[in-house]
Amino acid sequence: MVLNNKQKTWPYCHMTRAESLRLGVFNCFNLLGVVLCLILSVQAQAQTADKKVIQAPAQRIVALAPHTVELMYSLGAGDRIIATTEFADFPAKAKEIPRVGGYNGLQIERIFELQPDLVLAWDGGNKGEDIDRLEQLGLRVVRSKIESIDEISSHLELLGGLMGLEAEAGQIAQDFRDELAQVRARNHKKPSVRFFYQLWLEPLKTLTSDSWVNESLHSCGGENVFSPQTGSAYPQVSIETVLLKEPQVIIVPSHHGDVIATGEVWQAWPEIPAVANKHIYSIDGDILHRPTLRVLQGMREICRVFDLIRSDYELKRT
């Protein structure tokens, strides 16, 4: 079959200039649409890949706080820690982990050389500029800060999610919540016990009722003789002020396993009810000061002490 001239003619030849221009613009928009779709598709794939990286369970972890190390061991993931900071000493196995810093700062270059797939930073405990530098170097950093006992369980679940241990973390966290609720329920109606917490001896420092550590003592029915003060939840105080507050008990914690002070200094002040009645008690500070599962152990000990004091006062009234 022979094509006639009409059949061989390019379609644009039969269009007006305006029609041809409109068709050209339309086709350009179609082409732009295809290109845009391709770009969006590539971006979506990249974002999906990024999410997969973020969600990948961490295996090589630098844990920059003693409580983080302890919580990781609670999850059975202590063997994933490749470096930590000073004072990470519980459980005993944690003492074998290489150190990359402490109170005075982090060893940034050493941490980078280790090439961890996750750095767990302590917001407020590690220097802010050190954490910023680790992020600038391209390391994957997760910042966290625990400010109440109730946040311990949620932090545990966060760690579980980062390490692919969601089920284990969820169960441990729920057990913690249940026991915490039981401690509070058993003690919230008991008579209050006025306490002074000797955080440090020289200079003499305490914690006020707005500190997170105070929650443990309050949950046992304790009443802190020092109310919140402007500037610090851990203020320096004078012996004279403690005298005026008349605490029924004085709690003296150890620090990182070391007994920094005893209650002997108070024997010169028998007018303090806690001294007169021999109600000065020592406790392992780590189990109260660190936001870990062991805080429940510290609470049980504090509750036991407060019950002894209540019984003593009850006997003296009869």
Domains of the chain: 61-176 (3.40.50.1980), 190-317 (3.40.50.1980)
Q: Which residue has the tokens 């913690």?
A: 176
Supply the pLDDT for residue 315: 77
The long-range contacts involving 293-296, CB below 8 angstroms and separated by at least 24 positions, are: 293/70, 293/71, 293/74, 293/152, 293/156, 293/172, 293/176, 294/70, 294/90, 295/149, 295/152, 295/216, 296/176, 296/179, 296/180, 296/183
Please choose, from the candidates 102, 98, 91, the residue with its C-alpha nearest in 3D space to the C-alpha of residue 113. Answer: 98
Give the separation between CA 114 and CA 234, rounded to whole angstroms.
Answer: 36
Question: Of how many residues is the chain composed?
Answer: 318
pLDDT digits 0-9 by tens, 87-142 = 999 999 999 999 999 888 999 999 999 999 999 999 989 999 999 999 999 999 99
- Percent of the chain with pLDDT strictly greater than 90: 69
Tens-place pLDDT, residues 26-63:
444 454 554 444 444 445 454 444 444 446 899 999 99
Q: CA-CA distance, 311 to 264, in Å (whole number)?
A: 24
Where is 194: in which H helix or E strand?
Answer: strand 193-197
Task: Report pLDDT digits (tens) over 186-195.
Answer: 999 999 999 9
Mean pLDDT to the nearest integer, 293-313? 95
Report pLDDT digits (tens) over 199-227. 988 899 999 988 889 999 999 999 999 98
> Which amino acid is present at 262?
T
Q: What does the angle CA 169 – CA 288 – CA 292 come to, to the nearest 5 degrees? A: 15
Q: What is the pTM of this model?
A: 0.79
Q: What percent of the chain stands above pLDDT 70?
A: 80
What separation, in Å, do the N-terminal and C-terminal C-alpha atoms of the chain show? 125
Between 210 and 262, residue with greater pLDDT:
210
